[in-house]
C-alpha cells in the first residue's frame, strides 16, 4: 500500500471514529414519543447506563416539555440492555474533574438533584422499569417517581459509603421512610436487595416477571388517554400475575427485629457496639462490612438520614448538595474511587481512619450552609 493510500485510510478511520463517538454521545439517552407516553431510555449499556451531566440535562428538559404536553399521558423510563437500569452516576468522571473542572462538580450534583425533585413533583404518572442493576443515581431517577416496577433480575443498593460518599439523590428522604430501620441498614452497609425483595422492601411499587416486561410496556403505550387509575390497573394486573419467587420470604425478614434494634442508635459507634455485643454470624458479617467503609461517610450518612426523616424532599436535597460539595473537596471520595474503580486494589486508606477521629466539629462542616451557592429550586 502506498504511503498516500495509507495516510488516506488512516484519515478515513479517524473521521469514522469521530463520527461514531459523536453518534454515541448524541444517543446516551433516547427520548421518544410512543403511543400515549414519553419514553426515556438510558442508552449506555456498556457502562451499565450510568448517568452523565449531558443525559441529566436532556432528561430534565424533555420531562418538563412532556409535563406540559396534553398528548403525553405518562412517562416511562428504562435502561437499554438486560444488565442494568442504571448503576449510578459517572463517578470516575466526577473524581477526574476535581483537578480540571470544578464547575462540573457543582453542576452535576445541582442538576441531578433538581431532576430528582422534578420527578417527585411530576404532574404526569412516571413509571420506572427498574430491571437489572439500580444503584446510586439510578435510584434517584426512579424511586421518586409514582410507580417503580422491579423484576427477578433487579438489584438495588446504595453503596456510597464504600467510596467515601453518602447515599445521595434524595436517599436522606426515602431511606428513613422504609420500614423500621431498614433504610439505615441499607445506607450504612450498602446491602444489596435482589428481585422481589426490592418490592417487599418498598423500593418498588410493583413486581413483574422479566419475560412480561415488554408486554407490560406495550399495554401501557396502547392506553387511550389514560387516567392515573387506568395506569395503576394495568400495573396491578401484571403484578398479580407474576409468579417468580411469589412465596419466598423477604431475605432480611428473620433479621428485621434485630436490625431495628441495632440501627436505632444515635451514633455509628453505638451501632458498632450493638453489632459486636450481639455476636451472631449475621451481626458480625455486617460489622465486618461497616468496618471497611469510610468512617467519615458513615457518620455523615447516619446524620443525613436522621435529619432527613423529618424534612421534605427539597429540604433533603439542599442538605445533600452541601454534603456533596464538601465530599468533593475532601479526601475519602477520591481515595474510594481510586481503590474501587481505578487501581481496583479494594484497599482504600481513609482519612481519618477511625470513627472516633471524626469529630462533631468535622461533621458540622459538611452540613454547613453554602450561602448564595446553596441549591435552589
pLDDT digits (tens, 9 = 90+) for 177-220: 999 999 999 999 999 999 999 999 999 999 999 999 999 999 99
Which of 168, 217, 320, 335 does the annotation list as catalytic?
Answer: 168
pLDDT at 100: 81
229 is known as an active-site residue = no
pLDDT at 254: 97
- The pLDDT of 256-276, averaged and rounded, is 98
28 is known as an active-site residue = no
pLDDT exceeds 50 at position 55: yes
Name the average pLDDT for the chain: 92
Q: How confident is the model at residue 105 (pLDDT cuts 50, 70, 90)?
A: confident
pLDDT digits (tens, 9 = 90+) for 140-158: 999 999 999 999 999 999 9
pLDDT exceeds 50 at position 60: yes
Angle (deg, nearest 10), helices 360-367 and 295-308: 60
pLDDT digits (tens, 9 = 90+) for 4-48: 344 344 343 333 333 333 344 459 999 999 999 999 999 999 999
Round to whole Å and give the CA distance between 190 and 197: 15
- The pLDDT of 273-280, averaged and rounded, is 98
pLDDT exceeds 90 at position 78: yes
Which of 38, 79, 89, 164 does the annotation list as catalytic?
Answer: 89
Share of the chain above pLDDT 70, in %: 93
pLDDT exceeds 90 at position 3: no
pLDDT exceeds 90 at position 101: no
pLDDT at 4: 38
Check: CB of residue 157 under 8 Å from CB of residue 177: no
Q: Which of 125, 110, 28, 121 is nearest to 75 (CA)?
A: 125
Which of 160, 217, 320, 335 does the annotation list as catalytic?
Answer: 160
Cα 312 to chain centroid, rounded: 19
Angle (deg, nearest 10), helices 313-329 and 360-367: 120
Specify the range with the lowest mean pLDDT, choosing from 95-104, 156-165, 334-343.
95-104
Residue 24 in grid coordinates: 454515541
- The pLDDT of 350-361, averaged and rounded, is 97
Round to whole Å and give the CA distance between 240 and 235: 9
180 is known as an active-site residue = no
Check: CB of residue 213 under 8 Å from CB of residue 238: no
Measured from the Cβ of residue 222, the count of other Cβ atoms closer than 10 Å reads: 13
Q: How confident is the model at residue 262 (pLDDT cuts 50, 70, 90)?
A: very high
Q: How confident is the model at residue 315 (pLDDT cuts 50, 70, 90)?
A: very high
The answer to whether the peptide bond before residue 179 is cis (omega within 30 degrees of 0) is: no
Domains of the chain: 29-245+254-373 (3.90.226.10)
Which of 137, 138, 140, 172 does the annotation list as catalytic?
Answer: 137
pLDDT at 98: 80
pLDDT exceeds 60 at position 1: no
pLDDT digits (tens, 9 = 90+) for 292-310: 999 999 999 999 999 999 9
Cα torsion 39, 44, 46, 47 to 10°: value is -120
69 is known as an active-site residue = no
- The pLDDT of 44-59, averaged and rounded, is 96
Amino acid at each position: 500500500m502506498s504511503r498516500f493510500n495509507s495516510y488516506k485510510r488512516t484519515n478515513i478511520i479517524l473521521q469514522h471514529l469521530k463520527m461514531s463517538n459523536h453518534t454515541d454521545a448524541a444517543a446516551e439517552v433516547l427520548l421518544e414519543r410512543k403511543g400515549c407516553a414519553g419514553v426515556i431510555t438510558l442508552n449506555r449499556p456498556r457502562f451499565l447506563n450510568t448517568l452523565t451531566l449531558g443525559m441529566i440535562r436532556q432528561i430534565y428538559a424533555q420531562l418538563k416539555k412532556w409535563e406540559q404536553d396534553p398528548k403525553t399521558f405518562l412517562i416511562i423510563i428504562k435502561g437499554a440492555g438486560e444488565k442494568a437500569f442504571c448503576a449510578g452516576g459517572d463517578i470516575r468522571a466526577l473524581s477526574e474533574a476535581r483537578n480540571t473542572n470544578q464547575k462540573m462538580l457543582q453542576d452535576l450534583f445541582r442538576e441531578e438533584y433538581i431532576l430528582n425533585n422534578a420527578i417527585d413533583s411530576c404532574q404526569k404518572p412516571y413509571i420506572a422499569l427498574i430491571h437489572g442493576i439500580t444503584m446510586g443515581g439510578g435510584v434517584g431517577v426512579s424511586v421518586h417517581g409514582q410507580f417503580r416496577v422491579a423484576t427477578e433480575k433487579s438489584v438495588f443498593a446504595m453503596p456510597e459509603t464504600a467510596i467515601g460518599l453518602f447515599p445521595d439523590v434524595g436517599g436522606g428522604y426515602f431511606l428513613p421512610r422504609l420500614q423500621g430501620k431498614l433504610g439505615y441498614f441499607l445506607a450504612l452497609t450498602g446491602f444489596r436487595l435482589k428481585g422481589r425483595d426490592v418490592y417487599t422492601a418498598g423500593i418498588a411499587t410493583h413486581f413483574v416477571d422479566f419475560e412480561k416486561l415488554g408486554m407490560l410496556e406495550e399495554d401501557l403505550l396502547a392506553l387511550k388517554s389514560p387516567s392515573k387509575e387506568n395506569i395503576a390497573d394495568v400495573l396491578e394486573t401484571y403484578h398479580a400475575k407474576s409468579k417468580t419467587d411469589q412465596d419466598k420470604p423477604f431475605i432480611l425478614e428473620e433479621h428485621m427485629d434485630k436490625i431495628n434494634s441495632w440501627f436505632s442508635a444515635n451514633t455509628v459507634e453505638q451501632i458498632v457496639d450493638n453489632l459486636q455485643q450481639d455476636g451472631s454470624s449475621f451481626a458480625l458479617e455486617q460489622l465486618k462490612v461497616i468496618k471497611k467503609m469510610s468512617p467519615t461517610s458513615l457518620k455523615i450518612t447516619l446524620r443525613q438520614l436522621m435529619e432527613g426523616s423529618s424534612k421534605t424532599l427539597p429540604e433533603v436535597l439542599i442538605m445533600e448538595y452541601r454534603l456533596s460539595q464538601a465530599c468533593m473537596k475532601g479526601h475519602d471520595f477520591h481515595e474510594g474511587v481510586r481503590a474501587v474503580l481505578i487501581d481496583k486494589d479494594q484497599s482504600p486508606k481513609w482519612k481519618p481512619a477511625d470513627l472516633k477521629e471524626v469529630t462533631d466539629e468535622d461533621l458540622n462542616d459538611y452540613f454547613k450552609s453554602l450561602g448564595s451557592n446553596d441549591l435552589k429550586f
